[in-house]
Structure 1
Amino acid sequence: MAADLGAGTLATAEAAAPPRHAPLFAAWQRLSTRIVGVLLSFLAVALVVIGATLLLSWQLEGSAAAINVTGSLRMHSYRMGMLLTNMPARPDVAAAREEVRLQAGLISDTLTQLRHGDPRRPLFLPPAAAIRGNFELVERQWREELAPLAGTLLRQQSLSATDARMLEGRTARFVAAADALVQQIEHDSEERTFWLRGSQLMLLALAMVGTVSIIYLFFNMIVTPVTRLQAGMERMRERDFEVRLPVDSQDELGQLTNGFNQMADRLQHVYGGLNELVSTKTAALEGQNRELALLYDSAAFLQQPQPAEALCEGFLQRLISYFGADGGTVRMLDPLRGNLHLLVHQGISPELVEDERCIKVGDCLCGDAVERKVAVVHDMRRIDPALSLRCHREGYATVSVFHIYAQQQHLGFFNLHFREPTVIDEGRRALLDTLGQLLGTAIENRRLAGREREMAISEERNLVAQGLHDSIAQGLNFLHLQVQMLEQSLRAGEQEEAAAIVPALRAGVEESYQDVRELLHNFRARLPEGSIATSLQETVDKFRRQTGIPVELAADSDGAPLPREQQLQLLFIVQEALSNVRKHAGASKVKVSLSDRQDFILSIEDNGAGFVLDELPARGEGHVGIHIMRERAQRIGAQLSVQSRPGEGTRVELHLPRALRRAA
């Protein structure tokens, strides 16, 4: 009952207390604080009672000394009166007068001592107002009546009967006042003695009540909870896991009881929830099976022969479906220029696609992750909105960056965008890293396959070139020999007609021979390692050395790398255009321009003779090179345009729009 009342009182106090007292209340909830508080409270009360007892005893000692000192006033006053009365009859008057002065000094000293007190004895008058009033009366009678009369009589040579009666009366009044003062002090001492005994009885009662209270409190605060815990542990030992102990306090034993209940809950859960544990393990195995299924499906898909865009599109679609992402992207790295080109995307706004179609390594969050070569999961809520990132404006809460590797080579990275805050744990990070390696291996295999096809085509062209060399070139050489023989045979006949034909045949044979040699060179040419701008530079330098015609090359190449098949076709188009310039234009200056950004634009311009475009079909085989260039442009999805006027030169321009570009 008392414990319930105490708990209720504490609860009421906790509800009513202002927030600033919460730490004090929390401190009082601790068992150690309450034990120390109870002991200190009893100690404080005991010290107060003991102090009161000591004070009363000290005051009683002072009052007793005051009674003795006040009682001595009567003796000194009577003795002084007797000395004054008998002084004329004594032979030693001077000695009597000196003794009278001594008694008067003792009375004055006694009154002074009573007024000021002496704490060392101790000696002091009680602080009651009546006692102080009587003391003032006694002191006034001495100072105003008895002391002046004694001084007057001490100076006289004889004592009359009137003076004797006056001295006797004033001495009696002074003694009566001193007796009254003594009685008041004795009455005050009796009262203080009563209070002293009462405080002693109170101290005894306090000791008894305090001992019983401390035993009761300690029993409730310590013995009962410990006994209850011991009983609970006995039941727990008997495997009664349903045992729960009431938590009656928030102190250490209450926390221990709460921990016991939590332990009982855990044990009951462990022993009684085996099915739940089996279900949890089954769910974990199902999650692992889903990861394995994703890996198997992705690996099977990435092994299929298809373009890089289709590979990345299917790969990204599987990741978004598995992880529940709201969008994603795949970017390829151009290591030569340090650019990151957006290859495929899903669920991303057109504005974000346009802004981040091509970013530099180190720019933005994704470029920084590529520069540091670490996989990162960005919590956009923790990033300063003042950076004005597009992902912030698009409303994404989580953006992940995982890299695409193949044989320790960094090819790019892929993103997953989540509008809701998403946590990607270590297991999922490892899964995404593995998937990035699968995608990188597939892309690298595709590039290797492209190089293999290039090698096969190059070998085939080498065979064609060898066949042309062995057939057409030798035939033309034979024709050249026959013409020489014709020239020799005709010398004997119609020399003028033969002389007119032979130079034309010789020029035609030489031209054909140069065409064949150029064709052999073009077929045997291989695309060097590097960008398209590097390949164009080598082609332009070779043309300049062979023809002596100045060539200006202006290349602005900052777009995504082209596949090697497209680069090879573009190189053949440039070679064919320069061949036409050499054979037909008669130009003194050539300019080759390359603008490689989102769209690919390539132009070859000369200041030669030019021609009429409408007459081109009528010339037949003489300008078959333009048809070849158009066929090559059609193979890569580009558009070829030719602009020319007689006397104003010729401009050949190839345009490959961004929608038809393929990734390397």
Structure 2
Amino acid sequence: MMKQTGPHVYPTSPTALNEVGSLVADLSRDLTVGGDLQTLLERFLISIIAMAGAQAGAVRVLTDDGQSMRLVGQVGLPPPVVLSEQLVDRDCGMCGVAVSNDVLGWVDDVRSCARKGSDAYFGLQCRRVLAISLPHGTDVLGVYTLFFERDSQLSPATEGMLRLIGQLLGLTLHNARIERERLRVTVMRERQDMVNEVHDAIAQTLAYVKMRLPLLNEAMLAHDDKRAMKYFSDVKSAVGEVHDNLREVMTYFRTRMDPLGLLHALQGMAKTFSDRNGVALEIRNSAQNLNLTDEQEVQVFHIVQEALANIAKHSMARHAVVAIEKSPQRLEFLIEDDGLGMTEPFVSTIVTTASALEPSRHLGLEIMRGRAQRLGGSIEMERNEGGGTRVRLVVPVRSFPPEAHA
């Protein structure tokens, strides 16, 4: 026979409430700092079992599909029972009632529990079971169960306390679920950041080395020692950059920004761009103060760097310009060249719809899009009216810190 009480919480003494609050607060804190859920719940159950005068206890949570309940912690149950109770149907007995409705319910006839296993636990060592919901808001996340060896009776105040514990534990499990999701998203973001940094700091330089090696080979075959030494020096310098950048990525998960800022970094790039790629690069800046944070400067620099790398690899251009303009509403970066222009798949292609792009370019454009989103801005590619390609990065001024704090 099953008996259940509704969601009313019975009043309890301030001392008992403090004990309950302290118990659940400890559990919540330990879960937040990354403690093992099973170990923490078993410590929690030991205190609850003692409080209720039970002999064993268990905590079950709904699986992601909501069809079953998974055992996540237990104290005092025999090994055969633990094995048979690892996963049960969501509608199994009083536990099923408790996980479908916010209730506290007693099971006086434990024969239904005994049907799941051959162990003689139910009906002998355990004669009565109490199931308490673990609610959060309008949802029930699971159930915790107490097992009694005799027909124990609990006072309304104790039952109320146990229900309050269920509510607090439901909140704790909800917060733990949010924390796990936050951690998962953080790990995925860090992995993507790692890919971005490797691409920006290493892949572009290796592409430059790849272009230089055939020239080095030709010069060697032609016995042109002057050209061969130049290309050898270029490759040696680039490999040194890759080595340094790789060490930085491995150490910091990111490459360092020029300590003198974005404009200095762009001017430094302009000085070496022509020698390395045969494309004259001009920086035109009409903004007196970019007023960007360090993180914003890193994102903008890598976007410009990727756009220029595409010019060097694909455009056959002779001249490129990075123009910086600032208005009260936005900061705009234009990267233009006088090369061959975009091939058909690139026509009117905005980076957010880059599915038709060639695989070799797709990753770089997707990374540029992601960086632009972090800036709260937008990025697009289009043909230049006079030939070549234009990349426009626009970032709202409202995303910048006030100039007074620059």
- TM class, shorter-length: 0.3 to 0.5
Higher strand content, 1 or 2: 2
From the CA coordinates, give the structure whose radius of gyration is larger. 1
> TM-score, normalised on structure 1?
0.29
Taking CA–CA contacts closer than 8 Å with sequence separation of 6 or more, which of the two structures ends up with the larger relative contact order?
2
> TM-score, normalised on structure 2?
0.46
